[in-house]
């Protein structure tokens, strides 16, 4: 007579089969993400992070909004894959995260984050800054034509880049690009509390009405912390027109970081 009954032997064989299936499954990066999520759940303080990892991976890219803030996306990648994802080819990253549900916007956003974490060219070269900015602002950059950013997009791009690498300075070339964006859109003042304010000195070289710039700066200092977007501005007042433009750019930034 055998040591175990037929029912017991069938059970043990089933367990061995299950073990082989699990061993094979955990080689799949998406499954590893679920495993990491389960480990995170062991600590109550990690609950929000674990839920984010699970929700994003549960149904592929359909669960990752294309307008996700780049910092949140970076945090997810680091939490899920440590530094491994930085060495993956774009095709591997897309397949791992999205499977068949490809997203050009998210793919470009991830590559822009990688560029900022591994090189300094977004801080040094205006065209790289522009393409990174397009990707960060939920668009698909076209690398063969110029696609100027808006001032609001410059604000969000510089803010995101500085959060990724706080000590990296912006070159004169990039600041000149920001100043030209502002000048081409008729801005005369760039708020000092925003990183675009670093380009004010270069913007001064593009504008002729220095008095309007000084008046706008003084007026903005008085209202910047209020609900500026809902303030009443007069189209007939040049300072009010400047304040209204700044209010729209500021609101775009606030919605971006939420």
pLDDT in tens, the chain (258 residues): 445 455 545 544 544 454 454 444 444 444 444 444 444 445 555 544 444 444 444 434 447 899 999 999 999 999 999 999 999 999 999 999 988 888 999 999 999 999 999 999 999 999 999 999 999 999 999 999 999 999 999 999 999 999 999 999 999 999 999 999 999 999 999 999 999 999 999 999 999 999 999 999 999 999 888 877 777 788 889 999 999 999 999 999 999 998
* Residue 232 pLDDT: 79
Say if 109 falls within a structural domain: no
Q: In 62-192, where does DSSP find H-type helix?
A: 70-81, 90-98, 104-118, 121-124, 126-136, 151-164, 172-184
Range of the domain at 149: 119-257
Domain count, the chain: 1
Q: Is residue 83 assigned to a domain?
A: no
Domain-embedded: residue 94: no
Specify if 251 maps to a domain.
yes
Angle, CA 166 vertex, CA 162 and CA 172 arms, to 5°? 65
Angle between helices 47-58 and 29-40 (to 10 degrees): 160
Q: What is the DSSP string of 161-199?
A: HHHH-TTPPPPHHHHHHHHHHHHHTT-----TTSGGGGG
Whether 236 maps to a domain, the answer reads: yes
In a domain, 230, yes or no: yes
In a domain, 99, yes or no: no
154 lies in a domain?
yes
């Amino acid at each position: 007579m055998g040591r175990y009954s037929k029912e017991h032997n069938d059970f043990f064989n089933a367990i061995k089969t299950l073990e082989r299936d699990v061993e094979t499954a955990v080689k799949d990066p998406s499954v590893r993400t679920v495993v990491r999520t389960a480990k995170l759940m062991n600590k109550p303080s990690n609950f929000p992070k674990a839920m984010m990892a699970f929700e994003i991976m549960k149904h592929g890219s359909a669960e990752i909004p294309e307008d996700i803030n780049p910092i949140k996306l970076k945090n997810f990648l680091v939490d899920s894959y440590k530094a491994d994802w930085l060495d993956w080819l774009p095709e591997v990253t897309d397949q791992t995260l999205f499977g068949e549900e490809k997203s050009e916007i998210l793919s470009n956003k991830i590559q822009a984050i990688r560029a900022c974490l591994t090189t300094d060219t977004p801080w040094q070269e205006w065209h790289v800054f522009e393409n990174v900015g397009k990707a960060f602002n939920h668009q698909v950059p076209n690398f063969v034509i110029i696609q100027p950013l808006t001032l609001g997009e410059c604000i969000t791009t510089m803010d995101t880049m500085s959060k990724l690498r706080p000590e990296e300075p912006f070159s004169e070339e990039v600041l000149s690009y920001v100043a030209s964006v502002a000048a081409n859109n008729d801005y005369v003042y760039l708020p000092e509390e925003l990183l675009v304010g670093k380009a004010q000195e270069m913007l001064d070289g593009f504008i002729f009405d220095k008095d309007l710039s000084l008046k706008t700066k003084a007026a903005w200092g008085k209202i910047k912390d209020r609900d500026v977007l809902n303030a009443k501005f007069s189209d007939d007042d040049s300072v009010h027109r400047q304040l209204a433009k700044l209010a729209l750019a500021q609101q775009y930034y606030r919605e971006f970081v939420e």
